[in-house]
Structure 1
């Protein structure tokens, strides 16, 4: 049964070879229905690729893979879809449409292992994000350095050279202001009687606009909910509280995890107690097709809030008590993510199914963890934040872009519960 539901139909049928009875017959029928569904989805994908409709092609391929993961037709169509996305993403970057380019790579997600071209585009977008982050913090000189490197390597994107010139002009203007009378208030010149401190290499950020109050938690600590946007993999909503409610956004009292789903669905609670997760509901719901009101959750449990709204609960790593919720038939209001990480102490980012965030292009896993309100990384590979080596005293700030080996990720705020 599990092989068939995971899309490995041949393995499931082999396990049923000597089985008889109504249950075995039903499973064989399900396997055949999945084959038909996969073939129909692959036909839609091929037609979409012929029309250069990459979005429909990817959705159809994802549907086909869920129905029949080992279908031999899928590999060729996935290669074609990846090539089309790479071509369209490159054109969008050259035209300066970075939001569209990022959306394309996000849509491709974990459908297939990223090619070298896709990885290069993801790194380029990460560097652009780093430059934007420097500008937001009032550091135009650092932004200019990043943009200069990018414009030299990607001359076909003419806007990069123009952006580099503007950043250099902003840096020169800011530095002139700091050398003038305003320097008395930026730390460049100290009033009489004030103790002197060692000069810092870059104090431009003092002139930056104050960060909005909702941008970060008090004291710069990592908030209880934030987004991890991992290039070529996808976006993840991270929730740190041990107890949360899940249900439709239309509920009379908005749940912690509000879903765009049909009205009238129940609101359930998932609570972490030590190393275990418990599900509870005021009314019976179905978990693995069995009605329950309270259950100790196990890896792979399928929580059905309704006929189409299903939340799959997984515990990928035996070394971590953090869990992942996979949304199907429903989505978050922002539409940014379909996977939610219930973070306890750590989140594993790396190759294989044992990672919370699967990134097969990594040679070894990295571990994200929080200490003293900072988001830190343990990794055997070099970690850079906005193009510079990570400062363990700061970690990965909200709004920053981190590169962990071949992977780039951004940490962003998430909409707070209303």
Structure 2
């Protein structure tokens, strides 16, 4: 340990190792709240910060709004004084470790929107004190920690690596994944300097099972982008193959399942009605934007984005053709049920769900549209689809199924009676191959 480490880091390292460090998590959404709970279970006194007073009140009363956070666990942490929520950001000064978990959406022009990250960094800078560790977890382009966060935090005269410590650790949350959670997913970390790297590694080793240290925040930021570009490109590939094979009368799902029997050189990805969730539809475009600074184009990534964004239109086209062929009905006079609003099965997470794009496309064509989702009773307020707020999920009954010209399966939740749907519907557009997987065959089911 060099002289700087001896002078600056021991106090914080001691607080971390003895679990006396107070942890502050800013942003209590799908990333921040599970992380706050994980820190609480690691015996750190944890404060969760959010500007939403309703969220703060709900959490402090022991109620969770995130599927992966158990209400009983939350109440145990509250009772043990290992977690509490707050909207008073001046309490950041009390925290020894501050983790930023705020949204990083895209603008309407598909450019990075870092307003929440910048605002959070500015808030932290007002309360920054000597000896704190600040970590960015929000997904962003390589260079954000050093080029955006660091200058803001250093405005008051404190220097990263000396008076405070700075690092990046990409979130890897996967809502609904029963095999891996916050504490069991390997954690990539990087400090802005050698001292910061030592401190950030020490903190996360107390919270998660496996920590992977990389050489710089830029590398860690690139890790997250690479993971999501990989998925986006491969999903785009199978989406394109689906369109081609549909035209040839070939079942893409049968092809993928057979190809997946090869024990090497192949990894199965599955097509769908479009991408959802915060990561895959958004993160690759952060790299696309940043690459322009270097005079480079990201043709592969942009092409994948174009293909994935086009899938809702493809589904609507198939629906229109099938309505005309089977019912001699036009899309403009049809009643359509969207089955599944969440972006993936068995969760309530609706971020960037392709269901919204489908609903908008159908309503522009004057179709009458309802939705059913056992996990989403009512559509909440969202930034991009505020006009849908307040719509309520229908009750799924045989009579209701019979009343629609078509049902479009967008999300294949497990707790849905698919046999009842097959027995009582006039037309089903299955974008997830759920009926075939469940062994349900019917002439009214069309894969798309």
| TM bucket, shorter chain | under 0.3
Q: Which has the higher strand share?
A: 1
Q: Which has the higher helix share?
A: 2
Give me the TM-score of the superposition, normalised by structure 2: 0.26
